């Protein structure tokens, strides 16, 4: 059984102006997501600024989210690291808190060979053998690409490695992987502008940045496709492209946090080395939000 179908939100981590994590605001946006049909919560991923959270903050955010959501939708905890030992530690803690699944990014900076990726993922999976794992392939950020044969080997040989968040942007690679998988991989789009193409090769949904500002829309788009309304889903995908482009006009999550602030959600600043949005891009983002029909504060 799939971890989820539909749109899972790659949720931001709200901050106070002094840079501390704003857990009260996190609770508010979790309730907003659940009320607006989000199918899963992905906490402490890239969009959640996991790379600049301390280990303590990271684990506290995961625990807070699991407790707040209280099994209303699946909570998928980002526990990946470029240190296998750290990823094992974080994964074990998240499982103790009650995470429904884990999202594990490929090792970054030190990278890994394909053999190293197999050893890395297998070691983490064996440490939490009853918890489903989604591999996260985003080579533009990590410099490390999970090749189709590697992803399929892991999914076939490690019982709790069940899925992949595909954010390579390479649809040919994704199609090749799914042709080799023979149904053993649960596929989720990691790019909001490629949701429908990935659904068309067997995807189950998206782990979405767009869902932070338009959760019901993103959920409905996926469900239209899965329910057979290809034309309706296609129109929704294409209508969302200008906003999606604006949400990625600077490095994620700078624009999506700015968008949420423009909408009055008050999720605060990003942490360095990320910086506040350029004024010209902020204007473009505000226009895209309004053109999409979202109200600004």
Q: What secondary structure does DSSP assign to 125-192, as a single string?
A: HHHSTTS-EEEEE-HHHHS----HHHHHHHHHHSTTEEEEEE-S--HHHHHHHHHHHTT--EEEES-G
Our measurement of the distance from residue 58's CA atom to the centroid of its chain's CA atoms, rounded to an integer in Å, reads: 15
pLDDT in tens, the chain (297 residues): 789 999 999 999 999 999 999 999 999 999 999 999 999 999 999 999 999 999 999 999 999 999 999 999 999 999 999 999 999 999 999 999 999 999 999 999 999 999 999 999 999 999 999 999 999 999 999 999 999 999 999 999 999 999 999 999 999 999 999 999 999 999 999 999 999 999 999 999 999 999 999 999 999 999 999 999 999 999 999 999 999 999 999 999 999 999 999 999 999 999 999 999 999 999 999 999 999 999 999
Q: What is the pTM of this model?
A: 0.97
Residue 230: per-residue pLDDT: 97
pLDDT given for residue 1 in this prediction: 77
β-sheet bridge partners, residue 134: 103, 163
Q: Distances in Å between the alpha carbon of 138 and those of 45, 46, 146?
A: 12, 10, 9
Listed as own residue / partner, the contacts of 271-274 with beta carbons closer than 8 Å and 24 or more positions apart are 271/15, 271/19, 271/49, 271/52, 272/52, 273/52, 274/49, 274/52
Phi and psi torsions of 80, nearest 5°: -75, 160
Residues pairing with 42 in the sheet: 10, 76
> Would you please indicate which residues are annotated as catalytic (active-site) residues?
136, 165
Distance, CA of 103 to CA of 134 (rounded, Å): 5
Task: Copy the structure tokens of residue 14.
Answer: 């709200």
Q: Cis (ω within 30 of 0) for the bond into 253?
A: yes
Burial of 234 (0-12, 13-18, 19+ CB in 10 A): middle
């Amino acid at each position: 059984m799939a971890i989820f179908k539909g749109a899972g939100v790659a949720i931001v981590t709200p901050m106070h102006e002094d840079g501390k994590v704003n857990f009260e605001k996190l609770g508010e946006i979790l309730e907003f997501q659940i009320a607006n049909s989000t199918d899963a919560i992905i906490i402490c991923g890239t969009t959640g600024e996991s790379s600049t959270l301390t280990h303590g903050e990271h684990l506290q955010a995961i625990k807070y989210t699991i407790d707040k959501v209280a099994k209303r939708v699946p909570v998928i905890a980002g526990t990946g690291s470029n240190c296998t030992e750290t990823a094992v530690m974080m994964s074990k803690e998240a499982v103790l808190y009650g995470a429904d699944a884990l999202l594990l990014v490929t090792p970054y900076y030190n990278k890994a060979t394909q053999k190293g990726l197999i050893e890395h993922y297998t070691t983490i999976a064996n440490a939490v053998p009853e918890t489903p794992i989604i591999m996260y392939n985003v080579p533009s950020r990590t410099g490390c690409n999970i090749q189709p044969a590697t992803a399929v080997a892991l999914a076939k040989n490690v019982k709790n490695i069940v899925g992949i968040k595909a954010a390579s942007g390479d649809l040919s690679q994704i199609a090749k992987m799914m042709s080799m998988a023979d149904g053993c991989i649960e596929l989720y789009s990691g790019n909001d502008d490629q949701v429908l193409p990935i659904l068309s090769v067997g995807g189950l949904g998206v782990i979405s940045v767009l869902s932070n500002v338009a959760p019901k829309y993103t959920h409905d788009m996926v469900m239209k496709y899965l329910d057979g309304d290809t034309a309706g889903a296609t129109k929704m995908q294409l209508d969302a492209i200008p906003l999606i482009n604006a949400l990625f006009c600077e490095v994620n999550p700078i624009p999506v946090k700015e968008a949420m602030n423009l909408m009055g959600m008050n999720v605060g600043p990003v942490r360095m080395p990320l910086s506040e949005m350029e004024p010209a891009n902020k204007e473009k983002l505000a226009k895209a939000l309004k053109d999409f029909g979202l109200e600004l504060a």
